[in-house]
């Protein structure tokens, strides 16, 4: 068990660094009014404890979808990590390495204006500090009028491509402690 816990701790650190510094956009899935998944590429920010924050334009249908059905999945997908192997494919040999994937499944909660402003300001400031200045900079009143913040509270996390070989990890982050 200690080996598994150590491997999960290493994979967690690698996965969190991947999401925060390399992955960029996420694929976020909501459930539409007919019960079907709808996936979009968007910005989503990984918080402590595997929570996810996103700030969206208020006009998007996904805001209503979250209010009706909060079940959500957020995926970050990227190239295989350096040194990855796929020596024993389970069913088919595609002749390539599997990508890195971080999946957070949970329930979305539409947040109050203060939370939205805080997340918007923090992330806009960070992006501008990196030289990413093409998005409009909104005033607090514009944020309140135009944007909606959503926090996704995780119940299941899956990490692929961060362990040895085909090793993957699926866990409930509420049971993880400080990992």
Rounded CA-CA distance 41/43 in Å is 7
- Compute the C-alpha angle 101/107/111, nearest 5°: 115
Under a CB-based contact definition with an 8 Å cutoff, are residues 120 and 138 in contact? yes
Q: What is the reported pLDDT for 72?
A: 97
Mean local confidence (pLDDT), 41-57: 96
Per-residue tokens: 162 = 């961060």
> What is the tens place of the pLDDT at every residue in 95-122?
888 899 999 999 999 999 999 999 999 9
Range from 58-62, 151-155, 162-166 carrying the lowest mean pLDDT: 162-166
Q: Count Cβ atoms below 10 Å from residue 32 Cβ, excluding itself.
A: 14
Mean local confidence (pLDDT), 16-29: 96
Q: What is the reported pLDDT for 176?
A: 66
Q: What DSSP letter does each residue of 58-121 carry, written as one string?
A: TT-HHHHHHHH--EEEEEEEEPPPTT---SS-SS---SSPPPEEEEEEEEEEEPPHHHHHHHHH
Domains recognised in the chain with CATH numbers: 2-81+98-168 (2.30.110.10)
């Amino acid at each position: 068990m200690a080996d598994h816990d150590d491997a999960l701790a290493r994979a967690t650190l690698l996965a969190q660094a991947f999401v925060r510094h390399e992955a960029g956009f996420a694929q976020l899935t909501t459930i539409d009014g007919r019960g079907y998944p709808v996936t979009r590429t968007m910005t989503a920010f990984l918080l402590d404890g595997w929570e996810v924050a996103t700030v969206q334009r208020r006009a998007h249908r996904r805001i209503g979808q979250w209010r009706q059905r909060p079940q959500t999945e957020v995926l970050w997908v990227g190239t295989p990590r350096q040194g990855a192997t796929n020596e024993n494919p389970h069913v088919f040999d595609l002749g390539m390495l599997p990508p890195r994937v971080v999946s957070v499944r949970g329930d979305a909660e539409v947040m109050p204006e203060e939370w939205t402003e805080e997340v918007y300001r923090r992330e806009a400031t960070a992006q501008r500090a990196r030289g990413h200045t093409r998005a409009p900079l909104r005033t607090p009143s514009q944020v309140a009028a135009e944007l909606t913040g959503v926090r996704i509270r995780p119940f299941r996390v899956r990490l692929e491509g961060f362990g040895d070989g085909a090793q993957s990890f699926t866990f409930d982050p509420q049971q993880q402690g400080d990992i």
